[in-house]
A = this chain, B = another copy of it.
Amino acid sequence: MVGDPGRDRPTRADVRMRGFADRASVEQATRWIDAHARILADEELDAADGAGRVLALAITTKRDLPSEDRAGEDGYAIRAGETIGAADYNPLPFALGSPDDAFPSGAAVPIVSGAAMPAGSDAVLPFEAAQPSQGMLEIYAPVAPGSGVERRARQAAAGTVLIEKGRRLRAQDLGLIASIGLGRVRVVRQPRIALISAGPKTSGACEVQDADEPMLRTLVRRDGGVVVHVASQAGTRAAMVEAITTHEADAVLVAGRTGTGADDEAPMALAEAGELAIHGVALRPGGSAGMGLVRGTPVVLLPGEPLACLCAYEMIAGRLIRSLGGLDPEPRDRCRVVEVGRKIVSAVGLVDICQVRLVGDRAEPVGSVESGGLLPAVRADGFVVVPAPMEGYAPGARVVMYAYGEAGTGGRNDGERGG
């Protein structure tokens, strides 16, 4: 990892019917992405709509939580000192008060969890330890001072950061936000993504359905983006140039036509519409990926072969979308260290993406990096990235698995505006 993005020597020659003379390293590709992925602006949102959104400003409590001593459980507010000596065979009598009265000595007042402690009381006696009897309350057990009381500021003192900036809001985060009465939150705008696919190959006898579009829609949503524009049959260079330039997206993904065939027009289309910075990455599958800029907007070229498309998305395009949306470019939430269960074989000189499934807590490779098709990824729980200098991993090695995670439930039309 030497040099800076500006000094990289990208490969941008026409590779059609010649092959890749050289490829950028995965490090060069991710450095290019990181250099061109600026976090988007904030927007304000009803907190109730904040699920899955990325917090742009830390949330701090202005007051102590709780803001006064309060009951931590249901029972009777009481003076603990007055319960000393109470026992099953020595019940002590207390006057049953009401929450609105003053709190005289010898009183016990019913209180519900969350209510402010009456001034003078210092403990909550559980209902089970008392019994009303002839208008009085008999108490059967002593209680320690502070018992059943949640002290002012016990959860957090005024000024405490409750939720850090950059958090992708989960259920409990939204609950906490509601509990402090915050109705609006500042979040990072969702990256708007244009999806362009060439459509099925026309030059071969074997019809290939377009798997990439539904797959990419779901991946974009998983990574916090929203698909705003889709061009599905942009197979010619002119159609691609048109699609790459006509949208209101923050980033563009082009799927297909990235290889070395005569009709692999995507890199030329990007070069024509703007600038092709990198074409060809030392990644397997996914080696024909590319990237560049059109009027400042990053465009990622993904191979059409579905497994290659998936791997290039995970290593390159997903990183871009996560960064634009204020998430960690590395999907750390989905990373876990696992032990290798069966040997993972890899080629030296390429970053290999190995599909793995968990058998117990050990990762076993599924399929081979050389076989095409999505089936290995469908059978996998995640993937392992084998760095370029390595020949693979032996059983027992500890490696990082990137879990695919679950797709959020959603239809194809979520947030889509173009078409």
- A206 & B70 in contact (Cβ 8 Å cutoff): yes
Inter-chain contacts of A112 with B (CB < 8 A): 201, 203-204, 259, 261-264
Number of this chain's copies in the assembly equals 2
Task: Give the interface segment out of A24-32, A33-41, A150-158.
Answer: A150-158
- B48 & A179 in contact (Cβ 8 Å cutoff): no
Report the Cα distance A41→B262, complex, angstroms: 49
Contact of A406 with B170 at beta-carbon distance under 8 Å, contacts A162-B375, A203-B112, A259-B112 already known: yes
How near does chain B come to A15, taking the closest CB pair, in angstroms? 8
- B407 & A215 in contact (Cβ 8 Å cutoff): no
Q: Is A265 an interface residue (CB 8 A)?
A: no
Q: Mark A361-396, 1 if CB is under 8 A from B, else 0.
A: 100000000111111011000000000000000000
Report the Cα distance A378→B155, complex, angstroms: 12
Q: How big is chain A's contact interface, by range?
A: 35 or more
Inter-chain contacts of A173 with B (CB < 8 A): 378
How near does chain B come to A220, taking the closest CB pair, in angstroms? 9
How near does chain B come to A107, taking the closest CB pair, in angstroms? 16
Q: Is A175 an interface residue (CB 8 A)?
A: yes
Inter-chain contacts of A245 with B (CB < 8 A): none
Chain B residue with Cβ nearest A212? B175
Task: Give the interface segment out of A49-57, A268-276, A289-297, A346-354.
Answer: A49-57
Q: Is A66 an interface residue (CB 8 A)?
A: yes
- B126 & A19 in contact (Cβ 8 Å cutoff): yes
Report the Cα distance A215→B178, complex, angstroms: 9
Report the Cα distance A21→B263, complex, angstroms: 77
A residues 110-136 near B (Cβ < 8 Å) are 110-116, 126-128
A residues 250-302 near B (Cβ < 8 Å) are 259-264
Chain B residue with Cβ nearest A181? B209
Of the candidates B17, B204, B216, B411, which one forms a contact with A171 in the assembled complex, judged by CB atoms under 8 Å apart? Answer: B216
- B115 & A51 in contact (Cβ 8 Å cutoff): no
Contact of A172 with B378 at beta-carbon distance under 8 Å, contacts A67-B206, A204-B112, A221-B409 already known: yes
Of the candidates B51, B154, B218, B260, which one forms a contact with A407 in the assembled complex, judged by CB atoms under 8 Å apart? Answer: B51
Report the Cα distance A20→B112, complex, angstroms: 15
Of the candidates B261, B304, B378, which one forms a contact with A163 in the assembled complex, judged by CB atoms under 8 Å apart? Answer: B378
- A169 & B407 in contact (Cβ 8 Å cutoff): yes
How near does chain B come to A165, taking the closest CB pair, in angstroms? 14
Of the candidates B65, B372, B406, which one forms a contact with A333 in the assembled complex, judged by CB atoms under 8 Å apart? Answer: B406
Contact of A372 with B205 at beta-carbon distance under 8 Å, contacts A171-B404, A175-B215, A407-B169 already known: no
How near does chain B come to A198, taking the closest CB pair, in angstroms? 12
Inter-chain contacts of A48 with B (CB < 8 A): 214, 217, 411-412
Give 9 CB contacts A-B under 8 Å.
Answer: A19-B74, A48-B412, A70-B206, A74-B260, A116-B204, A175-B212, A178-B214, A405-B405, A408-B410
Binding site for B on A (CB under 8 A): 15, 17-21, 46-49, 51-53, 65-68, 70-75, 99, 110-116, 126-128, 150, 154-156, 162-163, 168-181, 190, 201, 203-206, 208-219, 221-222, 224, 226, 259-264, 304-306, 309-310, 333, 336-337, 361, 370-375, 377-378, 404-412
